[in-house]
Structure 1
Amino acid sequence: MVSISFLKIRTNKMKHFFCALCLLLLTGAALQAAPAAGARYAIRGKLQGMDTGWVYISYHYQETDHIDSTRIAAGNFFISAHLPEPLMVTMKLSGNPQQVSFLAGYDTITVQAAASRLFDAAVSGSPEQDAWMKYREEFMAKVPRRNGRDDTAFVKALENQSEAYVRQYSNWLGAAIVIYDRFISYKGTEKAKVLYEVLDPAVKQSYYGRRIAYYFDAGIRTALGAVAPVFRLPDAAGVMRALQEFRGKYLLVDFWASWCPPCRKENPELVKAYLKYKTKGFDILGVSLDSNKPQWLAAVAKDGLLWTQLCDSNGYDGGVTALYGIKAVPQNFLLDKNGKIIAKNLRGEQLQLTLQAILGQ
């Protein structure tokens, strides 16, 4: 399987830089229970090497992209805009591919940076950001440099320090972020459940706490015998299609992506099953996590995928992947004619053997 992490951490002589391109687009009641009013954030900054231009502050929230902007004058800027609740925001500069992310609340934040090293900006004035930075500066500094992909000592140290941070900073948003990234994103669901109970009630009610709970509930939503959660996504022509349209046949809902080698390796098996059983009441619905549409469609054509293809272009940050608890691909769900889940993650010959038992030779 191919998975993705909310944080990307790399080491260099015991200095750990991690960039949180965050804010997963999660849907459902658990995430809709956010504070309705919110308030305004305020960011004041000084930039070296950039006297004029634009500053952009962006974040994702409840399936919507939010972008605020302000002008830079003599290297200084100030921006204030609505923020529904404390969130991780991303700051970019015009004409500059770099970015920096930090936790913003309703305090006035100060950002000082060289435009050429925006990712290394000094951010102050946000208690939540200060607590978040402790993860990098104190806890991750205790993790040894990774020595190869199968370095179990590195993995163990990373998990231990992540757990220690959550327990010590359980009343800060960073603890919920670490639970999701370090444990849920790496299939450590049982540990995540234990640590979730350590969180302060206010953190549980935050955006990051709610998305943990929403992920836990995915196991119930997609349990065998449950009616598969309904969704709507665009097909290759941009037409919105609903899962309910495909009822009346046995349907394999297949989550995949063009950039996922295990998915591409599995596709020939799906093609065999589709060609053998498509006239016997079987269909496949592909759900791609691709953000690059030409790349997605090229893979569909190259692999000969003849069934309907939809795309959740926000990938692991998408509403449908959150709805189904998808943290790695490939994954699939076999539904009966009424939309009930009767099997999961059928691979290779397993799919054909299952269909043979249901539909005959």
Structure 2
Amino acid sequence: MKQRLKIIILLLLPFCSFAEEGFVISGKVTGIISGSVSIVPRSGDDLRNLPEKVRIVDGVFTFTGKIDHPQPVQLKISTKTLNIFLENTRYTVDCSFESLSGSQIKGSKANDEFQEFMASGQSNLDYLRAHPSSPLAPWMASMASFKKESILEAYSLLTEEGKKSVEGRELKRQIDIYEKTAAGKPMLDFKMNDPAGKPLSVKDLAGKIVVLDFWASWCAPCIGFIPKLREHYANYSNKGVAFVSVSVDENKEKWKEAMSFHPMEWKQVVAAGGFSDTEGVKPLFNIKGIPYLIIVDRHGNIAASLDGYHKEELGKVLEDLVNK
């Protein structure tokens, strides 16, 4: 009897270790004769090695793989695409094709909560406020992180374990950047060139108040903000304020074409790195979207950073600075 038990344990060990190392989705879906199961890659998904799709035979399949960290994915079973929260654990699905949905994927508390959230109509931040200890919390925090205020709140709501997650560490990295670029901190230098290819540095404008307007030819709100920026230029350019529109266009011809359609009387430059997530001004200042304004005081320190939600505050910031 003991020998038989040992054999059973040995046979089960590979399955136990695999469950810890990756995910297994075992399915029996009636109404499917053949087809396949796969993960549909989406923009923003952190899936480096997508598992190979597997065939469905008489409604039965076993889909396996491994992900770096828990996250929502689109799981395609035959012709249906399901939004599920995937982690490295064992799942089962046993239903008809007609009733097949994300909530039929059983075996994960995180996916159960994810399905409830999807049906609730709540915002990510509202859910996080109500469920800070949920296994979904780190992902919820990352989804609520478009504005600086929401990033700070989302991170503060995470448990210590949540702060150690992939998403928690990324939020902390962004918060560290905000601290380095907060009001009163020295302005960070970056590479930019004028239309003739001549380099320009914020340091070249030392002694002036500098308004850096980050924009792009493809950004409609940026184009829409030009008339307002022109008003500020008319009011403050003779009061020691230098205006610099910093394009994040990767296509310099598109940039120059946009300048010809929308003439701007102040300095025009293009930033190195475009609007890349990994280089240039976007990660340097943690810019989430454009238009984005950075105002530098006469001493070379950051006076304010204004995203698209706060750009209308530019006049007040400039009025305070010129009157100091």
Q: Is the 8 A contact 2:83 2:102 kept in 1?
A: no
The runs of 5 or more residues in structure 1 that have no matched partner are 1-37, 144-154, 234-243
Residue 55, structure 1, aligned to residue 17, structure 2: no
Q: Is the 8 A contact 2:54 2:63 kept in 1?
A: no
1:270-309 CA-partner distances (Å, limit 9, x unpaired): 46878997xx976432236x9x999989766643478344
Q: Tell me which moved more, 198-207 or 107-116.
A: 107-116
Percent of aligned positions that are identical: 21
Tell which structure's C-alpha radius of gyration is larger: 2
Q: Is the 8 A contact 2:103 2:112 kept in 1?
A: no
1:89-131 CA-partner distances (Å, limit 9, x unpaired): 344589x7x8544332221234679999987573322232223
CA distance in 2, matches of 1:133, 1:39: 24
CA distance in 1, matches of 2:280, 2:111: 26
Give the corresponding residue for 1:211: 170
Correspondence list, 1:232-243, <5 A:
none
Q: Is the 8 A contact 1:252 1:333 kept in 2?
A: yes
1:125 match: secondary structure: coil
1:216-259 CA-partner distances (Å, limit 9, x unpaired): 334312212324457789xxxxxxxxxx9734434644344667
CA distance in 2, matches of 1:85, 1:41: 11
If the length of structure 1 is used for normalisation, what is the TM-score? 0.53
Q: Is the 8 A contact 1:52 1:74 kept in 2?
A: yes
Q: Is the 8 A contact 1:58 1:67 kept in 2?
A: no
Deviation at 1:332? Answer: 1.0
CA distance in 2, matches of 1:50, 1:295: 51
If the length of structure 2 is used for normalisation, what is the TM-score? 0.58
CA distance in 1, matches of 2:95, 2:211: 50
Q: Which of 264, 269, 274 does residue 223 from structure 2 map onto?
A: 264
Using CA pairs under 8 Å that are at least 6 residues apart, name the structure with larger relative contact order, 1 or 2. Answer: 1
Q: Is the 8 A contact 1:263 1:329 kept in 2?
A: yes
1:70 match: secondary structure: coil
The code of the aligned residue for 2:105 comes to V
The code of the aligned residue for 2:285 comes to Y
Residue 106, structure 1, aligned to residue 102, structure 2: no
1:17-69 CA-partner distances (Å, limit 9, x unpaired): xxxxxxxxxxxxxxxxxxxxx943444456766834572354788x9762514
CA distance in 1, matches of 2:157, 2:313: 41
Give the corresponding residue for 2:185: 226
The code of the aligned residue for 1:163 comes to R
CA distance in 2, matches of 1:264, 1:219: 26
Deviation at 1:202? Answer: 1.5
Give the corresponding residue for 2:7: none
The runs of 5 or more residues in structure 2 that have no matched partner are 1-19, 193-198
Measured on the aligned residues, the alpha-carbon RMSD in Å equals 5.7
CA distance in 2, matches of 1:116, 1:308: 57
Q: Is the 8 A contact 1:274 1:282 kept in 2?
A: yes
The alignment of Structure 1 onto Structure 2 pairs a total of residues equal to 285
CA distance in 1, matches of 2:202, 2:91: 52
Deviation at 1:177? Answer: 3.2
